[in-house]
């Protein structure tokens, strides 16, 4: 029998007993934080009859740890699956199909077909850092992206990046190269709100040479209220950092990070720091969807 449920159940039961908080109060507080868990489910968790498995349940664990005075990951860590071994551990991630993340796959294929993707597999993405700024109107004001890249052959001189509108039918963002790159060909799909563009490096790279590339996305006005940000990664990334900074006049009720690789989503609750920022970091990021989403409370009058 799998011992993990009992380990989790024992830890949860002991934490509830030590905190002297009733299950009813725990359920009430989780509901207030936007990650509701029923009283019956909490009872099943602490007796070992079941354990958190759904994304919504996983998202509640961060708040549950906080309510019970536990360290971050104290309960979540007991649910982690063992690290892959053998053949699966040595598997090389395949690139995500270029059209996979977008609804209008035919249009996206047309966009990238006009661009030069031949350098994709000759670039190792050592790190990527997305920084999102949310204004007092609850809308994204700008996205700044910084990447550290390594050429695996001589002559690599560009990178293709993509973006899309914040809402269905909205206008796509505009791009600006801000460090060691300029815009090459840009293709825009106004109907689908998608954009694909070449970032041309200042000069061709030699084999094993690294470069720091930075660019920005600017959203057209009027900007819609934002409820999250995701990176749809077509290629593996060694290190990925996503930061979302909120204006202190417009703070979310709660935030969660999510990862969706191969159709399986994993979710974990996040906490704002003293700079009104949440972040998520991943190592050896596989192609898929990775991001942060949040919920807003009632606007202050």
pLDDT in tens, the chain (301 residues): 333 334 788 888 888 888 888 888 888 888 887 778 888 888 888 887 787 876 667 778 878 888 888 877 778 777 644 344 444 344 444 444 444 444 445 656 677 777 887 887 889 999 999 999 999 999 998 899 999 999 999 999 999 888 877 766 677 888 899 999 999 998 887 776 778 889 999 999 999 999 999 999 988 888 888 999 888 777 788 999 999 999 999 999 889 998 877 667 788 889 999 999 999 998 887 777 788 999 987 654 3
35-61 tens-digit pLDDT: 788 888 888 888 877 878 766 677 788
On whether the CB atoms of residues 187 and 115 are closer than 8 A, the answer is yes
> What string of DSSP letters covers 5-41?
HHHHHHHHHHHHHHHT--HHHHHHHHHHTT----HHH
- pTM above 0.95? no
> What string of DSSP letters covers 109-160?
HHHHHTS--TTGGGEEEEEEEEEEEE-TTSSEEEEEEEEEEEESSTTEEEEE
Q: Which two tokens stand for residue 118?
A: 């031949």
């Amino acid at each position: 029998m799998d011992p993990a449920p009992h380990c989790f159940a024992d830890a949860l039961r002991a934490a509830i007993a030590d905190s002297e908080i009733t299950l009813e109060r725990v359920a009430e507080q989780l509901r207030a934080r936007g990650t509701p868990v029923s009283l019956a489910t909490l009872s099943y968790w602490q007796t070992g009859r079941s354990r958190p498995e759904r994304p919504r349940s996983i998202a509640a664990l961060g708040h549950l740890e906080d309510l019970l005075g536990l360290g971050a990951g104290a309960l979540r860590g007991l649910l982690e699956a063992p690290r892959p071994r053998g053949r699966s551990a040595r598997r090389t991630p395949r690139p995500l199909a270029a059209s996979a993340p977008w609804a209008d796959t035919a249009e996206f294929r047309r966009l990238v077909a006009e661009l030069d993707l031949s350098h994709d597999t000759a670039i190792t993405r050592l790190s990527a850092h997305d920084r999102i700024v949310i204004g007092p109107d609850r809308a994204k004001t700008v996205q700044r992206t910084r990447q550290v890249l390594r050429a695996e052959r001589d002559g690599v001189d560009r990178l293709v990046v993509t973006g899309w509108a914040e809402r269905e039918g909205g206008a796509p963002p505009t791009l600006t190269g801000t460090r060691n790159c300029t815009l090459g060909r840009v293709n825009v799909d106004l109907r689908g709100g998608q954009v694909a563009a070449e970032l041309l490096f200042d000069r061709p790279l030699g084999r094993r040479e690294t470069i720091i590339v930075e660019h920005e996305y600017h959203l057209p006005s009027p900007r819609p209220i934002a409820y999250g940000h995701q990176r749809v990664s077509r290629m593996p990334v060694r290190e990925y950092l996503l930061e979302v900074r909120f204006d202190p006049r417009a703070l979310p009720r709660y935030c969660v990070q999510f990862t969706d690789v191969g159709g399986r989503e994993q979710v974990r609750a996040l906490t704002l720091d003293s700079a009104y920022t949440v972040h998520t970091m991943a190592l050896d990021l596989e192609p898929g969807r990775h991001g942060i989403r949040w919920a807003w409370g009632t606007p202050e009058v």
